[in-house]
Structure 1
Amino acid sequence: MWNRPDVDFIHSADVPWTLVPDGDFGAAAGGRKRLLSTDPSDGAETHLLQVRAEHRGVLPAEADIYVVGGSGTLDGERIEVNDYVHVPAGATIDLKPSVRGLTLYCGFWGAPRFVSEEDSGQRTAITHTELLRWTPATWSGEVELDPGAMLKTLRQDDSVYIYLAAMMPGWRSADEEAHPVYEESFKIYGDVLMGARGVMREGAYFFRSPDVFHGPLYSRSGTMSFIRSDAATTTEYRTPPPAGAWDELARVAYAD
């Protein structure tokens, strides 16, 4: 799952749609995906998926799914934009897109193939994230953040910490930062300056190994991201190099 090359960062709109291979989750009726990253050691992959027809089968690999467009039903329960779904390994899923279609951000913990194995008896869990309350961000440790950085914890166990991170318009963090965990992020909406690397916008994605410095950070219009890490994170900070201040970088990055 975590043994994949760093991707820092790409805009998913620049990744071509490809047909989902037969036998994989999403293949029915010509389903399409945009592959964002993969772990060659176990087949785990993260992609955007356009669901075009009903899917029913057993997924041997655990999956984290976020609805980014359209609506449908999962095991008879309605799902729509900003819902998060946890699929345990071995669970049978019955997914039906609405006539408007369904676009999902999918993070699989193994190869995303349906199998003929018997149902494990576990069931999918749907979280309607818009019903959750925002709480102040906790990733900065003892360093006090500017007001306006918030999170919603979606799932936490001994192998993963999944959450939504949001920043209000104009929020900034002036130092570069690094985290002692793997970090995978998909931009749901808005923008965020990622230091000299440029501005992440809606649909942007990164996968980052532990202890990689990035930033400083700044969001002009506000932002929200879906993030998976292998544990709840803390942060190490350092002063940016000359010409690396957030306002200097933002002046160039937001020039258009």
Structure 2
Amino acid sequence: MPRPHIEFIQTQMLDWERSNINSSALVKNLSFDNSNGASTNIIRYPENFEANTSHYLECDEEFLILSGRILINENSYAKGDYAFFPSGYSRRKIKCEEQTDILTYYEGRNKPIFSKEIQNIDHSRLVVKLETIKADWGKATDPKIAALGVKRLELRSDPINGEKTWLLDISPNMMDSEYDKKEVHPVVEEVFVISGEMHLPMGVLKKGAYFWRPPNISHGPVGTRKGATGIFRSKGGPLKTEWSKETYQVIWSAKYAPILPKGLLSKLNVNYDKNIPY
């Protein structure tokens, strides 16, 4: 079964669970595809975590560092750093000198294969490291959003299927209209809010909010007064937006009324406003 519609959860509401792959790490699973094992997670590695056994995964791994610092092979990753490792990419050494939280996307079952043999990987898809804090941001690609001055940083564009990952930054009062248009995308839109807040009809997405929205679902309008930064992914191809002809009232500070599968509902605690980052 493909991933269900999730819109939205505050990841603060989910309890940490012990990782099935490494017992010293903790995991919050945000969404899971039963058909192929793909998943989106926050993984917490403890201080002094270390793994020195060479291994690779038979699936792609994509990640953004939320806090802390981790060494993978010869590369040190700190808050805001991004990477995309195609299947077969070797991890010879992993080490954390401090507690590190990583937003991690797996495109299949993430069982490690322990081997020192060098695998053939698709180097056209490899992003070893991108320091987003130091990168030059451009304008949003959608003309309506770009006209507002919203900034965009593309992290990757898949040369095979056209899927994209990017950061979007909305300054305070940039999208504070009382009325705006709804939108529809022909592909999955997946979002994790890094900072700020966004107002939707089903509630206020704050830091740590996450959604997975299947294709062709009308949504919005979206508003923000404080501004927001989030990491976005399109699954199934590049993201294209069809805007409604009519405008609709932006619902500010809507009561939390999420669209969630039963399995996720059973894991939620009731404290929507818990004051922790995720």
Residue in structure 1 matched with residue 137 of structure 2 by the alignment: 134
3-state DSSP class of the match of 2:90?
strand
Shift of 1:110: 0.5
Aligned match of 1:250 in 252, 269, 274?
A: 252
Q: Is the 8 A contact 1:58 1:119 kept in 2?
A: no
- Per-residue CA distance 1:61-110 (angstroms, 9 max, x = gap): 11111000111212122110010011110112122112x21110000001
Q: How does 1:197-212 map to 2 (within 5 A)?
A: 197-212=202-217
One-letter code aligned to 1:97: C
Match of 2:72 in 1: 74
CA distance in 2 between counterparts of 1:144 and 1:82 reads 23
Whichever residue aligns with residue 48 of structure 1, its letter is: I
Corresponding residue for residue 188 of structure 2: 182
Correspondence list, 1:31-46, <5 A: 31-46=25-40
Match runs of 1:1-256 below 5 Å = 3-21=2-20, 24=21, 27-28=22-23, 30-52=24-46, 53-55=49-51, 56=53, 57-93=55-91, 94-98=93-97, 100-117=98-115, 118-122=117-121, 125-140=128-143, 143=144, 145-157=146-158, 158-159=160-161, 160-172=163-175, 174-194=180-200, 196-230=201-235, 231-238=237-244, 244-246=248-250, 249-250=251-252
Higher relative contact order (CA 8 A, sep 6+): 2
Counterpart CA distance in 1 for 2:212 and 2:39 is: 11
* Cα distance in 2 for residues equivalent to 1:253 and 1:131: 37
CA pair 191-59 structure 1, distance change in 2 beyond 3 A:
same
Decide whether the 8 Å contact of 2:37 with 2:108 is kept in 1. yes
C-alpha displacement at 1:145, in angstroms?
Answer: 4.9
d(CA) in 1 for partners of 2:78, 2:146: 32
> Post-superposition shift, 1:219?
1.4
Question: Does the CA-based 8 Å contact 1:136-1:150 persist in structure 2?
Answer: yes
Distance, in Å, in 2 between the alignment partners of 1:4 and 1:17 is 21
Taking the aligned partners of 2:12 and 2:253, their CA distance within structure 1 comes to: 24
Tell me the distance in 1 between the aligned counterparts of 2:94 and 2:172: 36
- What fraction of aligned residue pairs are identical, expressed as a percent? 25
Q: Which runs of 5+ in 2 are unaligned?
A: 257-272, 274-278
- Post-superposition Cα deviations, 1:22-55, rounded to whole Å, max 9, x if no partner, equal xx2xx15x21000100010011111100012123
How much does 1:144 deviate?
6.2
In structure 1, stretches of 5+ residues that fail to align are none
Question: 2:103 is matched by which residue type in structure 1?
Answer: Y
Query: 1:119 corresponds to which letter in structure 2?
Result: I
Task: Return the alpha-carbon distance in structure 1 between the equivalents of residues 27 and 208 of structure 2.
Answer: 14
Q: CA deviation at 1:193?
A: 0.9
Q: How far apart, in 2, do the equivalents of 1:9 and 1:161 lie?
A: 21
Residue 8 of structure 1, CA deviation: 0.8
Q: Contact 1:139 / 1:233 at 8 angstroms: preserved in 2?
A: no
Q: Do the aligned partners of 2:199 and 2:253 also contact (CA within 8 Å) in 1?
A: no
How many pairs align?
241
Q: Secondary structure at the match of 1:13?
A: helix
TM normalised by structure 2 equals 0.80
Give the letter for the 2:39 counterpart: E
Distance 1:151 1:144 in 2: 10
Query: Structure 2 CA distance, aligned partners of 1:187 and 1:251?
Result: 17
Q: Measured at CA, do residues 7 and 119 of structure 1 come closer, stay the same or move farther in structure 2, by a change above 3 Å?
A: farther
Relative to structure 1, the CA distance from residue 161 to residue 182 in structure 2 (aligned partners, 3 Å threshold; closer, same or farther) is same
CA contact (8 A) 1:70 1:80 kept: yes
